[in-house]
Structure 1
Amino acid sequence: MKKIDATIRSSKFDDVKEALHRIDIDYFTFFEVKGVGKEKTPGGFYRGAYYDMGSIPRLMLEIVVPAEKVDAVVDCILRAARTGEVGDGKIFIYDVEQTVRIRTGELDEAAL
């Protein structure tokens, strides 16, 4: 099994979610994250408060799939999330040693 972490633009989330559902990836976790990239964006003041414009808001998706589905998931995310502009995001792939479903005690792929 593999874990895929994908950091994407928040504006592309619905496109990615729909694309993943089309390839039968119906369960994943996502959360809001901030990061710093190569692009240099200065901060600024607005109504007397300083805002750090260098922190880029994004969404992080965590998806665990059988190893044979990794290429399809990565391709799906690439097609749905790409704008061609700086800041489209990153995808990281990790090995998963074991998965356990808490409710039933099922292991590995049965737990997905």
Structure 2
Amino acid sequence: MAANTASNADARSSARRRTLLRGRICWGPHHAISADCAIRDISETGAQLRLPVTQALPPTFALIHILDGCAYEAVLAWRKGEFAGVKFLTKHDLKVPGPRELLALRQVWLALAPS
């Protein structure tokens, strides 16, 4: 089931590139709740995720792009079955120590990052 319709593509402000990357979504106080996901496509402004239908997604959360070592503060734009579209609000570099509020996200990334 393809969630990428022509109307979705027209509404995007930047072109997405197809991927099949490992990601992790984190939410809740201090980003203490997390779940694995697949990043199906990504752009400067958003992404399409694939995750189990049973996995709840809050309206806002952080998406860790494990390979790139960054986290995006994201807003859920749509959800259809196992696919979800997200819009990025901000991007954080997890490869370097940052503000205290990003510490939990950096620790998650360090535990999952390829050596």
TM-score (norm 2): 0.23
User: Which of the pair is proportionally richer in helix?
Assistant: 1
**Structure with max Cα Rg:** 1
User: Normalization by structure 1: what TM-score?
Assistant: 0.23
Instruction: Decide which structure has greater strand share.
Output: 2
Task: Say which structure, 1 or 2, has more relative contact order (CA 8 Å, 6+ apart).
Answer: 1
